[in-house]
Amino acid sequence: MNTETITTEVLATIRAMNKAWTTGWHEAEFRKYIHEDAVAIVPSAPGRLEGRDAYVAGWRGFAQAATIHSWQESDHKVELFAGGQCSVVTYFFTIDCTVGGVRQIMRGRDMFFLVKEEHAWQVAADQYSPEPLVS
């Protein structure tokens, strides 16, 4: 297992998936990165999003309601499991967007669980949250 190569593949998947919703809504492109049984926990919806269709619908709603001015990711950490067939990725993000006529900058953190199936990495789980304010 070449961990450097796998880490590069995993990060490329995350970045391509994020590009598919932060540079306009590219649903077909976005959808291909999401596992059919994906689950997500997000602060804007109760419970969890279950399955690819619910996951995609959640991001579609935001991407179509928002004008995204910029998206930045930083401090990526990739951990590999199961002989390089699974990965946990965490990073911090900053998004500058306008929603409902209000421009805002949100900072947060994301944690993904990815699996490699049929030679492609897919997001099987996602949890994101705003970065807590430090007083």
What total of structural domains would you count in the chain? 1
Secondary structure class of 42 (helix, strand, coil): coil
Residue 135 lies in a domain: no
Q: Quickly list DSSP for 78-93.
A: EEEEGGGTEEEEEEEE
For residues 73-90, one letter each, b for 16 or more C-beta atoms within 10 angstroms of the residue's C-beta and e for the rest, the string is beeeebebeeebebbebe
Q: Report the C-alpha gap between 25 and 34 in whole angstroms.
A: 15
> HEC states along 105-123?
EEEEEEEEEEEEECCEEEE
Domain that holds residue 54: 3-130
Q: With pLDDT > 70 as the criterion, what percentage of the chain qualifies?
A: 98
Return the CATH number at 60: 3.10.450.50
Q: Would you state the pLDDT for residue 124?
A: 97
pLDDT higher than threshold 80 for residue 1: no
- For the chain, the average pLDDT equals 93
Q: What is the pLDDT of residues 15-51, one digit of tens each?
A: 999 999 999 999 999 999 999 999 998 877 788 999 9
Range of lowest pLDDT (66-80, 93-107, 121-135) = 121-135
Q: What is the pLDDT of residues 96-122, one digit of tens each?
A: 999 999 999 999 999 999 999 988 999
